[in-house]
């Protein structure tokens, strides 16, 4: 299983090529990027949860009321927190890249690949 640090490192990986620009100002661009990541995550999560609930209820395994009143165990809470950390890292990725660029950490993907091949 991946550690929280591993998940955050994966979420902070830089995409290849230039980042798309949606709006004129950087702040608006970052905000739209964050909103779009949230919308995508939410849509997928809702579809999967709905599918699971319908299958389980149809098979008489569990009712939706039982799902609503479920209280997770501590280890489940830890797993969920790790997932939340990954989501937050993905949401703030564009801002992190902006900070990296301002601090001089603006190596291209090719430079990083060359470094990894040689070391």
How high is the mean pLDDT of the chain? 79
| Maximum mean pLDDT: which of 25-34, 46-55, 83-92 | 46-55
- Look at residue 97 in the predicted model and tell me its pLDDT: 72
Q: Express each pLDDT in 60-92 by its tens digit.
A: 999 989 988 999 999 999 999 998 888 888 878
Average pLDDT on 12-33 reads 70
What does the buried/exposed string (b/e) look like for 83-113 if buried means 16 or more CB atoms within 10 Å of the residue's CB?
eeebbebbbbbbeebeeeeeeeeeeeeeeee
Tell me which DSSP letter residue 60 carries: T
Average pLDDT on 21-45 reads 81
- Look at residue 94 in the predicted model and tell me its pLDDT: 73
| Band (7; pLDDT cuts 50, 70, 90) | low
Three state DSSP letters for 64-118: HHHHHCCCCCHHHHHHHHHHHHHHHHHHCHHHHHHHHHHCCCCCCHHHHHHHHHH
Residues 45 and 68: their CA atoms lie apart, in Å, by 16
């Amino acid at each position: 299983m991946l550690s929280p640090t591993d998940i955050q490192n994966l979420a902070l990986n830089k995409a290849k090529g230039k980042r798309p620009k949606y709006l004129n100002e950087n702040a608006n661009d970052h905000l739209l990027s964050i909103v779009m990541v949230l919308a995508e995550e939410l849509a997928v999560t809702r579809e999967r949860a709905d599918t699971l609930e319908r299958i389980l209820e149809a098979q008489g395994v569990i009712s939706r009321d039982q799902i609503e009143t479920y209280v997770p165990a501590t280890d489940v809470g830890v797993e969920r927190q790790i997932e939340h950390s990954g989501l937050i890292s993905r949401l703030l990725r564009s801002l992190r890249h902006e900070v990296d660029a301002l601090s001089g950490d603006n190596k291209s993907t090719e430079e990083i690949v060359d470094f990894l091949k040689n070391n």
